[in-house]
Structure 1
Amino acid sequence: MKKFRFKLETPLRVKKITEEICKQKLAEAIIAKSREEERLNHLLQTNSKIISELQSLLSSSIRIKEVSLFNTYIDDLNSRIKSQKNSLDNAIEAYKYSWMSFIEKRKERQVFERIKEKRFKAYIKEMNSEEQKNSDESAATMYIFREGKD
């Protein structure tokens, strides 16, 4: 009985490796996206805190120079928030690209695995048929041998 050999085993292994690479890139993109979200949230919290602080100081006596410094700092924070939103958008795009790439590579691997499975089933069917044929031939030979002795 011949052993099952899938002729597309090498491309299947390559597909598995490329899928794993894409999976790793997807994980890295998720981490980068989370990091950018955390940075943005931190900046937004800082901005809210500074605005609250400025409002509480405005109710008490405060110098114009201090108000000017707060406004400059708030403007700087707003600029950094805008920049961080752009960074987050880029991270989200990278995540989406990685996700789509991973899905594509997984589908490619699954196609090869389905082909392998179908060919293995055909191989098993062929082997069972061959085994049945050999069994039938043995039985026929034994019958003829017994009939010849009688």
Structure 2
Amino acid sequence: MPKFIYRMQSILSLKYKMEEQVKMEFAAARMRLDEEEEKLRRLFERKAYYEEEGRRLREHNLNVQDIMDNKNAILQMNDYIENQKIEVRRAEDELERKRKKLQEIMQERKVQEKLQEKAFEEFIKEENSAESKEVDELTSYTYGRRRR
């Protein structure tokens, strides 16, 4: 029986490679989002620390300069937090783009795999048909020789 050779194997192989590459890009985008979310979490913790420090400053002796510095630090943290939220949104958008790209590549690969399966089934049908034809010819030949 001859060996099955899928004529579009190079395309299927390319689809596998592209899928792996996009999976790595997706993983990198996921890591970036995680990092950006971690930065945001740390900024919130820092802001909470400044707010707690502001409460302590107001409870004890009132040092106006320390209270003003603390208020400015909190306002600055609010700016940092807003900027970081924007970065988190960008990272989420990038992750979503990579997810859609990965989904598209996976669908293309599955289409190629289905085409390969159909080509293999057709190959098997042709081989079975050829084998059946050979058996019929052999049977006819053997029957014809016996008749003589």
The total of aligned residue pairs comes to: 148
Give the letter aligned to residue 19 of structure 2. E
What's 2:41 paired with? 41
Give the Å deviation of 1:50: 1.4
Q: Give, in whole Å, the separation in 2 of the partners of 1:146 and 1:52.
A: 107
User: Within 2, Cα distance between the matches of 1:54 and 1:121?
Assistant: 75
Give the Cα–Cα distance (whole angstroms) in 1 for the partners of residues 72 and 133 of structure 2.
91
The alignment's TM-score, normalised by the length of structure 2, stands at 0.94
Deviation at 1:57, TM superposition (A): 2.5
Give 2:55's aligned amino acid. Answer: Q
Identity percentage of aligned residues: 28
Instruction: Please give the TM-score of this superposition, normalised by the length of structure 1.
Output: 0.93
- The match for 1:82 is 82
User: Shift of residue 52 of structure 1?
Assistant: 1.6
Letter of the 1:95 counterpart: L
Residues 51-95 of structure 1: per-residue CA shift (max 9 Å, x gap): 022113212223010000101111111111111111111100110
Report how far residue 113 of structure 1 moved. 0.9
> Which residue in 2 is equivalent to 1:109?
109
Give the CA deviation at 1:22: 0.8
Give, in whole Å, the separation in 1 of the partners of 2:5 and 2:34.
45
Alignment-mate amino acid for residue 67 of structure 2:
V
Please name the residue that 2:142 is paired with: 142
For the 8 Å contact 2:57–2:63, the answer to whether it is kept is no
In the other structure, the counterpart of 2:7 is 7
- Could you list the per-position Cα deviations for residues 95-140 of structure 1 after superposition, in whole angstroms to 9, with x for gaps in the alignment? 0000001111111111111001111011111101111111121122
Larger deviation, residues 102-111 vs 52-61: 52-61
Residues in 1 aligned to 2:132 and 2:56: alpha-carbon distance in whole angstroms: 92
* Structure 1 equivalent of residue 94 of structure 2: 94
Give me the whole-angstrom Cα distance separating, in 2, the residues matched to 1:56 and 1:140: 105
Q: Secondary structure at the match of 1:7?
A: coil
CA distance in 2, matches of 1:51, 1:24: 41
Structure 2: where are the runs of 5+ without partners? none
